[in-house]
A and B are shown apart, each in its own frame.
Chain A
Amino acid sequence: MKILAVYSMKGGVGKTASAVNLAYWAARSGRRTLLIDLDPQGASSFYFRIKPSRKSWGKRFFKAYEELLQHIKASDYEHLDVIPAHLSFRHFDVLLNSLEKRRSRLKKILRGMKGEYDLVILDCPPSIGKLSESVFNAADRLLVPVIPTTLSERTFHQLLDFFEAEDYSRKKLLPFFSMVQQQKSMHRNTQSNLTNGKVRFLETSIPFSADVENMGEHRAPLDQFARSKPANQAYRQLWQEVESRL
C-alpha cells in the first residue's frame, strides 16, 4: 500500500481537483483506492456527492484506526472509497499534537489499511500546521501542485527548505504544474526556472481549463462529463506518471 498526499501550503492551487481525478484514475487502473478528505471544507467529498459524516468522531485517539474504518464510504465508482470530510478534522492537529511520537502517529494509523487498499490519497487543506509534519512522515509521495507564478515558486522553495532543515527526503516530493496558461509568458518563464532547480518536476502539467471549474456543477470526476477534453487527458496522464513513481 502506498500513501500519496496532495499538498501545498498555498490555497486554491488545484489540490482537490487533482486528488479527485487521480483517485478516480487510480481506481480505474484497478488499484483499491481510499481518498481521505482532510479538508474540513469537504471539497473532495462534495465532488463525490458524499455527505459529510454526522457520526461523531471518538475523542480517544488510540482508537483512531477503528474510528476511521467506520467512516469509510464507497463512492459510485468501482475500487474507490472515500473518508468524507468532518468538521472535527480541525482538531486533528490538536489531537496529534497531544500525542507522543505524533510525527509517526498518522502513518501508523494509515498502515492499518494495507490489507484493504493499495493506495491511500490524502487531500490536504492549505494550512494544516502541525498536521503537515504527520503528513510528510506518513506519505510515500507528496504531490505538490504549483501554479507557474513567482509567488508559487517562492512557496515551493519554502517547502524545499523545510524539507532540508527537517531532514525529510526530497525524493518524496513530486511537484507538477497546475492551472497552466501557456499563453502567459510569466508561466513559461517560471516553469523553466523551476525545472532547472534541485527537484525535477513531473513531465505532465495540468492546463487551466473551464472543464475543471465545471466539476463543481457536475459533481463528478472529469472523465464522467468531459471525457475527451484536454484536462481529463492531462489528469489521466498525470496518474500514469505518478503511478510509475510510486
Chain B
Amino acid sequence: MTPEETTGWLLNTAPDRNRLKKLLGKDVRLTREDDWADTRLLLDDVDWQLWQKGLTLIYQQASAECDSSIKGKAREGCCRLQGKGIKGLLEQAALPGPPVFWWDLPEGPLQKKLAGVLGLYSLRPVLQVEQQHQLLACRDDEGKILLRIELVEQQLSSLRCEEMPRHHRVLLHFHPLRGYESEALLLQQRLLPLKADVTSQEVAGLPTAELEATEQERTEQARTEQERTKPGIKSPGKKSLNESCDWLAICGLQPANELLPNPLPLQPDEAAGAAILRMASLYWQQARRYESGMLADTDTEFLHQYRVNLRRIRSLLSLMKQTLPDEQGRLLRGLLADLARPTGRLRDLDVLLLEKVRYLQMLPEAFQAGFQSLLRSVEQQRRKAHQALVAHLMGQEYSRFCQALEAALQPVPASENQLVAFHEPFHETFHEPFHEPLQQQVLARMQRCHRRVLRKGRRITDATPDEEVHQLRIECKKLRYLLDFFASLLPDALVQQQLRSLKRLQGILGNFNDFAVQQAFLLQQLQPDAPEGQQAAVHGLVALLHQQQRQARSQVMQALSDYAAQPFNLPRPFNQPPFKQTEA
C-alpha cells in the first residue's frame, strides 16, 4: 500500500503526541513505529499525455529507508503508474533514476503501458514532493495494533518555473488492518477534530462507542456515525482519489489550460474570418510551446509537434483561403513557409534515424556495416542541422517573423466601413466572406472536398500514374483536416464515421507516399564518392522500399471503393447570415 493509495485527511497543523493521545482516548496506547523521509517526482511529457489519459506516473527517489509496502519499495528508484484502466498500480522497482523515455524501463507491464501512451515523447519531472513521514500505531490493552496512522509533512514545488515556490501541508493517512475495520472507523472518528475542513457538526457528533463493545455493537455504532458525519469520513480501506491531482493544483499547474481543447469550440454563426484567425492564433501558441524543447533537443517530438502546428495553420489558411482577404492570406502563408523551412532538414534526418531499427531489420547481414557507416554520417549531419536550427530560433530574424505573424493574425473589426478603413493593410475594401457565418462556409468547403476525393478516386485504376495517386492523397488529407478543425460544427456520428473510414484509406496512401519519400531521401544522403558498402546498402534498401511502395499501391483500389461506399451526409447549414449588406 503506497501513501497515494490510502485514505488521507488534510490537517491544519501537525499535531503533537499529546494531542493525539488525548483524542484517541485512554483505552488506546500510541506507539511510534517509524520515521522516514522520501522524495517523489510527478512525471509527464510536454503534452501531458499521461494526465490526458487519467494516469499518474510517480517516481520515488532511491532511499535505503524505503523498503516496505507502507513506505514504498524504493531501496533503488521506483516508478508507479496508476489511474484509469489500471487495476491497483503498475510498479517498476530498482531504477537507477527517473526514466526519460519508456524504453529506459526494463521490459514489463509498466513499460508496455507507457510505450502505448508516450510514443516518442520524453518524460520530465513536473513537480517534486518531499515528504517527512511518521508512522504511529494505535494499540489495544493487550498491545495489539488496531490501526496505523501516518503523519506526512509535505513540501511541494513545481519544477516548471524557475523560482520554485514551496507549498507546505500536513496529511494524515490511515492504514487499516484486516479484521479491525470497525476499530479503525472508531479511531478515525476520534481523530476527526484534526481534519482541516471538519465542520462543528461533525465534532459535536463524536462517537461514544468503546473499543471493548461487542463487535456487533461497534459495527453498528460506526455505521450510524459514518452516516451522520458524511462526507467527512471514508470507510478505511477504500481508496481515495488520486492525490496527485491535488499536487498539480497546489503547484498552480493546470494542464487543461496549456493544451488546446479538442475539438476547438466554435459557433456555427460566428464570423468565418475572425474564427479562422483565432484558430490559427491558438495553433501558433501551441507551436511556440515546443521551442524550448527544440532548443534543448529533448526529444524528436518537440520539433515534430512544432511543425505539425505550423502545418495546421498553413492548411487551415489555404483550405479556407477565400475567407481572408487575398493579401492577408498571402502574407500569412509566406510567413509560415519562412518559419517552417529551416526545420525541414532536421526533421528529415530525425525520421531516417527513427527508422534506423526497421531499416537494419530489412537489410541482410552483409549490408549492415555499410548502412551503419551511413548512419554515422547522418548522425553527424543531424548534429549540424540541430545547431543550425538553434541559431535560427535564437536569431533576430526569427523573432521578427514571429512578430509579423502575430500581427497578421489579428482579427479585423466588424463590418463598419469606417473602422475597416483604418485597418491597414488588408481592409481597404470590405471582404465579404470574412463576415459570413463560419458553418456555412465550412460545410460548402467540405462538400466540395468530399466530391473531389470521390471524383479523383473514381478515375484511379491500377494503371494510373503515381502522380495522380499523390494528388488523391492530398485531397484526402484536406478532408481529414477539415474534419479535425471543424469537428464541433459537425454531428459527432459523422465525424467518427468519417475519421474511421478515412483512416484506412489514408494509411495506405500515406505508406505509398512515405516509401517514395524515403527512397528519395536515402538516395540523397549518398555522397557521389560514398564507399561501396554504403552504396550497396542504400541501393538494397531502396529496392526493398520500392517493393513495399508497390505493395501499398496495389491496395489503393480496394481501399478507395471501401471508402466511397460510406455515406457522407452533412447537416443543413446555418444559412441565415446575421447580416448581408450587398448582393455580390
Contact = CB atoms under 8 A, between A and B. Distances in A.
B215 interface: yes
A86 B16 CA distance: 39
Interface stretch (A14-22, A66-74, A124-132, A236-244): A66-74
A9 B215 CA distance: 35
B283 to A, nearest CB: 51
A123 interface: no
B215 A55 contact: yes
Interface in A62-82: 71-74, 76, 78, 81
Interface in A127-179: none
Contact of A76 (B68, B145, B214, B215): B145
A74 B180 contact: yes
B69 A73 contact: no
Interface in A42-68: 48-51, 54-55
B400 interface: no
Given A54-B215, A78-B68, A73 B180 contact: yes
Contact of B179 (A49, A74, A78): A74
B144 A81 contact: no
Nearest to A79: B69
Contacts of A78: 68-69
Contact of A73 (B137, B142, B143, B179): B179
B14 interface: no
A72 B179 contact: yes
A219 interface: yes
A49 B69 CA distance: 23
Contacts of B215: 54-55
A49 B145 CA distance: 9
B178 interface: yes
A51 B68 CA distance: 26
B269 to A, nearest CB: 59
Contacts of A219: 142-143
B144 A51 contact: yes
Interface size class of B (residues with CB under 8 A): 10 to 19
Contacts of A74: 177-180
A50 B145 CA distance: 9
B551 to A, nearest CB: 49
Contacts, number: 32
Main secondary structure of the interface of A (DSSP, over half): loop
Nearest to B33: A76
A236 B178 CA distance: 26
Contacts of A72: 178-179
Contacts of B142: 49, 51, 219
A49 B143 contact: yes
A144 to B, nearest CB: 30
Contacts of A81: 178-179
A73 B145 CA distance: 11
B402 to A, nearest CB: 58
A81 B179 CA distance: 9
A71 B68 contact: no
A53 to B, nearest CB: 8
Interface string B165-208: 00000000000011110000000000000000000000000000
Nearest to B69: A78
Nearest to A116: B178
A72 B142 CA distance: 18
A50 B177 CA distance: 12
B506 to A, nearest CB: 46
Nearest to A84: B179
A234 B474 CA distance: 78
A245 to B, nearest CB: 28
A81 B145 CA distance: 13
Nearest to B68: A78
Given A55-B215, A78-B68, A78-B69, A50 B144 contact: yes
Contacts of B179: 71-74, 81
Contacts of B140: 49, 51
Contacts of A54: 214-215
A76 B144 contact: yes
A178 to B, nearest CB: 27
Interface in B135-176: 137, 140, 142-145
Contact of B178 (A48, A49, A55, A73): A73
Contacts of B180: 73-74
B203 to A, nearest CB: 30
A60 to B, nearest CB: 19
28 contacts: A48-B144, A49-B140, A49-B142, A49-B143, A49-B144, A50-B144, A51-B140, A51-B142, A51-B144, A54-B214, A54-B215, A55-B215, A71-B179, A72-B179, A73-B177, A73-B178, A73-B180, A74-B177, A74-B178, A74-B179, A74-B180, A76-B144, A76-B145, A78-B68, A78-B69, A81-B178, A81-B179, A219-B143
* A-B pairs, 5 with minimum CB distance: A73-B179, A74-B177, A49-B144, A74-B178, A76-B145
Given A51-B142, A73-B179, A76-B137, 13 more contacts: A48-B144, A49-B143, A49-B144, A51-B140, A51-B144, A54-B215, A71-B179, A72-B178, A74-B179, A76-B144, A76-B145, A78-B69, A219-B143
Interface of A: 48-51, 54-55, 71-74, 76, 78, 81, 219
